[in-house]
Structure 1
Amino acid sequence: MVPAADRVKKPGPSSVWLAEKTPRGGGATRGGAGGAGGADGGGKDGRGSHHAGPRDDDGAGSADGSGRGADRPAAGRGRRAADADRGADAGLDRDRITATTVALLDADGLAKFSMRRLAAELHVTAMSVYWYVANKDDLLELAVDHVAAELDLPDPEDDTDWRVQLRQLAHGYREMLVRHPWAAPLMGRFLNIGPCMRAFSDAALRLMRKTGVPKERQGGTMAAVFQFVYGFATSEAQYYQLAAEAGVTADEFYREAMGVIAGELAGSQLLRDSTEVMEARGGDTVAEMYGRDFDNALDVLIRGIEATSGDRAGDAGA
């Protein structure tokens, strides 16, 4: 018989935004507003119950370690109430908890994040945090929605050319994912149905309608654009992380890597072809190179949208 701690629960669609929204403790509610999300529809499943949190920071009380665990025993209610009182004394609320989570994720990364580390940063007990958020997974989902609020979404009443608006939204999405490299993997883990994520998806859908692309192709067109942005930004963010872990700047890392590659491929056709492409692209820094590649790729996608929709009104926003 498989021990209970080693059993894996069958994944199922779940989200902090689907959890109960009744007040808990000092007026705190489950399911409050947060950040933004995935216009590409990325997002898989959550796991387990949303009505109580784990008994430690890494998912204890959850069969699969996901952090969505079984209900806490009734015997602990008195202590939870005391912890909630201490949290209230510390000025604790879910907005502050989420904002602090984002700051820790930005500083230390997803792998080093824990509920105990968060509680220490807030100067409260971990149980105080659990009064406002059920578990670690729910908190990470709130953090994703929180950073999505940074996106500058086009005004539905604005009649600016769709090309301009699409470029602006794509650039904003890329910049947000690079600023918060932990967000991309989490977007592939949750349903992404928080208010800011929904607003992002709604804005993307409105843009697809403005392009004139037939309805049956709008979903695929949206995926082509925003899944490209998601992948590009994820790769870019990982590059910057590699450089930081090596203790060098992005440009220093690039020069060192190119030196190694040039040595390995010396005299090869691949090296000659690659050098020609990079020289034609230009860019004095890694940031400029990424920027030019992104703009060129986005232009290709927009040209494809124009060809599909029959809207070839020019080079607006180029």
Structure 2
Amino acid sequence: MAEEIESVWTRPKRGRRREQPALSQEQIVGAAIKLLDADGLDALSMRKLGAELGAVATAVYWHVANKDELLELVVDQVYGEFEVPVITEASQWRDGATATASSLRGIIRRHPWLAATLADVGVTFIGPNLMKVSDRLLALYETAGFPPIEADQASKTVIGFVLGVAGNEAATLTKLARTGETVEQWLAKSMPAAERAAQDHPRMRALYAAYADHDWSTADDDTFTYGLERILDGLELRLAQLT
């Protein structure tokens, strides 16, 4: 019999002790999210978390055995912000998928560390919020007309796109926040060098010229919408094949 995966959700809960810890799990998770939002994944440590809470690290370890367990709790908490609409008719699936993608994108932009953290959590997607979101996503794509496995694949295709695009957006936003620059200021500094580097590459020169009068305040939204629409176009063609 295979050994069960180690997870904060599967290990036995510690029994009560005479003096219960002063910290609650909710306090620990909230403080961890605050640290992650401010400083990113690499800056989070159990010692730093204890300092943020005004407690020694051992008080944190009463609730979580290690950083991996803490990340499971943190990711599940953030997934509580994930809004997946309930649809009742197949014709509603595309609007539902768009709303779902936009919700996840917003979460990643608010919590820039999330995309990288999902890779660390791995396959341990068994927290209550994660399970609820996964079930609702399956319901959305099954109502659209996909059989169960294809519903899972369609959902993962859209989510993978969002993680990639929004993860890059979040990295840029984090960098700009650290420098205090706006996108326009960063472009003003970087474009002259980029244009010189493109002198021997005619298509890149043409691309930069095409973008010369582009409204960069909407660039991220435009790129996200374009990519998402093309993916949903493909899924719509697949649905037509299934009917």
1:13 Cα deviation from its structure 2 partner: 3.4
Q: Which residue of 2 aligns with 1:221?
A: 154
| C-alpha distance in 1 between matches for 2:166 and 2:62 | 35
Which of 168, 181, 184 lines up with 1:235 in the alignment?
Answer: 168
Q: Which residue of 2 aligns with 1:68?
A: none
1:250-286 CA-to-partner distances (Å, cap 9, x unmatched) read: 3322332222211211363122332366469x4332x
Q: 1:205 to 1:116 in 2, by over 3 A?
A: same
1:118 Cα deviation from its structure 2 partner: 1.2
Which of 72, 93, 105 lines up with 1:141 in the alignment?
Answer: 72
1:132-183 CA-to-partner distances (Å, cap 9, x unmatched) read: 2222211121111111111122136688711111111100001111211111
Q: Which residue of 2 aligns with 1:21?
A: 13
Amino acid at match of 1:142: L
| C-alpha distance in 2 between matches for 1:195 and 1:278 | 45
| C-alpha distance in 2 between matches for 1:279 and 1:207 | 41
Amino acid at match of 2:5: P
Paired residues for 1:27-38 under 5 Å? none
Q: Which residue of 2 aligns with 1:302?
A: 232
How much is the aligned-residue C-alpha RMSD, in angstroms?
2.6
| C-alpha distance in 1 between matches for 2:161 and 2:76 | 20
Q: Does 1:270 align with 2:206?
A: no
Q: Which residue of 2 aligns with 1:245?
A: 178
**Structure number with higher helix proportion:** 2
Paired residues for 1:81-92 under 5 Å? 84=20, 87-88=21-22, 92=23
1:207 Cα deviation from its structure 2 partner: 1.5
Q: Which residue of 1 aligns with 2:57?
A: 126
Which of 197, 211, 215 lines up with 1:283 in the alignment?
Answer: 215
Paired residues for 1:148-227 under 5 Å? 148-155=79-86, 161-190=92-121, 191-215=124-148, 217-227=150-160
Amino acid at match of 1:251: E
1:21 Cα deviation from its structure 2 partner: 2.9
| C-alpha distance in 1 between matches for 2:110 and 2:207 | 29
| C-alpha distance in 2 between matches for 1:252 and 1:134 | 45
1:213–1:305: 8 Å Cα contact kept in structure 2?
no
| C-alpha distance in 2 between matches for 1:157 and 1:237 | 33
Q: Give the % identical residues.
A: 31
Q: 1:129 to 1:214 in 2, by over 3 A?
A: closer
Return 173-182 or 246-255, whichever deviates more.
246-255
Rg (Cα) greater in structure = 1
Tell me: higher relative CO, structure 1 or 2? Use CA pairs within 8 A at least 6 residues apart.
1
2:41–2:117: 8 Å Cα contact kept in structure 1?
no
1:224 Cα deviation from its structure 2 partner: 1.7
Amino acid at match of 1:177: I
Structure 2's unaligned 5+ residue stretches are none
Q: 1:278 to 1:200 in 2, by over 3 A?
A: farther
1:275-313 CA-to-partner distances (Å, cap 9, x unmatched) read: 366469x4332xx111111111111111111111119xx
Amino acid at match of 1:185: A
Structure 1's unaligned 5+ residue stretches are 1-11, 27-80, 312-318
| C-alpha distance in 2 between matches for 1:125 and 1:158 | 53
Q: Which residue of 2 aligns with 1:255?
A: 188
1:170-228 CA-to-partner distances (Å, cap 9, x unmatched) read: 00001111211111112112212211111111121112112223555333322221111
Return 94-103 or 145-154, whichever deviates more.
145-154
| C-alpha distance in 2 between matches for 1:98 and 1:127 | 15
1:214–1:309: 8 Å Cα contact kept in structure 2?
no
Amino acid at match of 1:196: N
